[in-house]
Chain A
Amino acid sequence: MLKLRNSREYYGWVAILLHWSMAVAILALFALGLWMVKLNYYDAWYNLAPDIHQGVGMILLAMLLLRLFWSWSNIKPNIAASAWETVAAIAAHRLLYLLMLMVMVSGYLIPTAEGEGFDMFGWLNVPALWHLSSTQAEWAGKIHRWSAWAMIGLAGLHTTAALKHHLINRDHTLMRMMGITQKEKQI
């Protein structure tokens, strides 16, 4: 049975759930973001799509902060790879965290640029922390767009590497992120 926390060999349930739920939500938000900016003013989704994008984005930001805390306060399972691959994997993971943080913070800055908060699913009002100039707000938009593309690109590389471990190296790297321990796999 898997534990809540990570071990030297396996990821715990918290890390696994955070990894996959964020992966799914991020891909969905990326697609939603590309689609919603092209909507016509009279489209029924014109206001709804950005509301959902913002609301889910704020949930993701909370999850990311929890994940960073969890990653920092847990041991990491060993990486089954050569020295350079290990360095590359760690660098890619950290860069992914950084890009996620950039996407989410810059995203938050867009609707709050003029110092007003925004409503999140009617649950709560997300307050504005800063008032940006129009130039700064434009930068927030540009950073949001390009860091999102960079994040998705790096996530693609991350996926390719995981599949390479599974299909070519035939090791346990991908399976342990699915919560499958070696023993269960053998049965």
Chain B
Amino acid sequence: MRNWTRNTLMAMTILMLGAVQPAQASEQHYVIDTANNHAFITFKISHLGFSWLLGRFDNFSGKFTFDKQHPKSNTVRVSINIGSIDTNNAKRDKHLRGPEFFNVDRFPTATFVSTSYEDKGNSKGLLKGKFTLRGITKNIVIHVSQVGAGKDPWGGYRRGFQGRTTLHLSDYKMKKAAMLGPLANNVDLYLSIEGIRQK
């Protein structure tokens, strides 16, 4: 009897909570499609001022919410496995994972947690949030634009964005970052993110 009463109360509470939050109805939840790699975190950094060195982080995960009626409430949360850095050179990647740069043993993950979203119209926006790398948290702004959204051919619903931002290595206290020269202090990130809508 007691269990029955408790379960009924819980069910009623859940129903009521649902009823008083009609604003949530237009919010959509997405999981970033890293399972099938339709999402990329890539970067470029100057090599001696002569060319761009490109790289990416192969393993990460994340989710976002999207609300067409209330874009301000859009949120993004991403966790990056720093050890998965890939610049197409085994020795360089090992060096970057080491204590002189990312120190992956101590700081295996970087995270991004959004704090606000500003809709600029025309499918563009400014995504602000806290980015934590090597245990150091900085506020960053990502310039975001939606690429497309709709039903996929396999019965799901997808929404994709691209984003750009610039990080400064000097913010994250890497021992040998300065060795790469002042031009290499800026790292341009290009993000291509596709989310699968969750029911």
Contacts and interface: CB of A to CB of B under 8 A. Distances in A.
A41 interface: yes
A111 B90 contact: yes
A113 B90 contact: yes
Interface stretch (B17-25, B91-99, B109-117): B91-99
Contacts of B104: 134, 138
Contacts of B180: 41
Contacts of A56: none
Contact of B179 (A40, A111, A113, A116): A40
B186 interface: no
B83 A110 contact: no
Contacts of A135: 83
A138 B93 CA distance: 10
Interface residues of B, number: 18
B34 interface: no
A141 interface: yes
A161 interface: no
A139 to B, nearest CB: 11
Contacts of B7: none
Contacts of A50: 91
B187 to A, nearest CB: 16
**Most chain B beta carbons < 10 A, residue from A41, A110, A116, A135:** A41
A46 to B, nearest CB: 10
A68 to B, nearest CB: 27
B28 interface: no
A137 B179 contact: no
Contacts of A113: 90, 93-94
Nearest to A54: B91
Given A40-B179, A41-B180, A134 B93 contact: yes
A53 B91 CA distance: 13
Interface in B74-109: 83-86, 88-91, 93-94, 97-98, 104-105
Interface in A17-74: 40-42, 50
A114 B90 contact: yes
A137 B97 CA distance: 10
B83 A111 contact: no
A79 B84 CA distance: 52
Contacts of A114: 86, 88-90, 93
Contacts of B88: 114
Interface of A: 40-42, 50, 110-114, 116, 134-135, 137-138, 141
Interface of B: 83-86, 88-91, 93-94, 97-98, 104-105, 176, 179-181
25 contacts: A41-B181, A42-B179, A42-B181, A50-B91, A110-B90, A110-B91, A110-B94, A111-B90, A111-B91, A112-B90, A113-B93, A114-B88, A114-B90, A114-B93, A134-B84, A134-B85, A134-B97, A134-B104, A137-B90, A138-B83, A138-B97, A138-B104, A138-B105, A141-B94, A141-B98
Given A41-B179, A41-B181, 16 more contacts: A50-B91, A111-B90, A111-B91, A113-B90, A113-B93, A114-B86, A114-B93, A116-B90, A134-B84, A134-B93, A135-B83, A137-B94, A138-B94, A138-B97, A141-B94, A141-B98
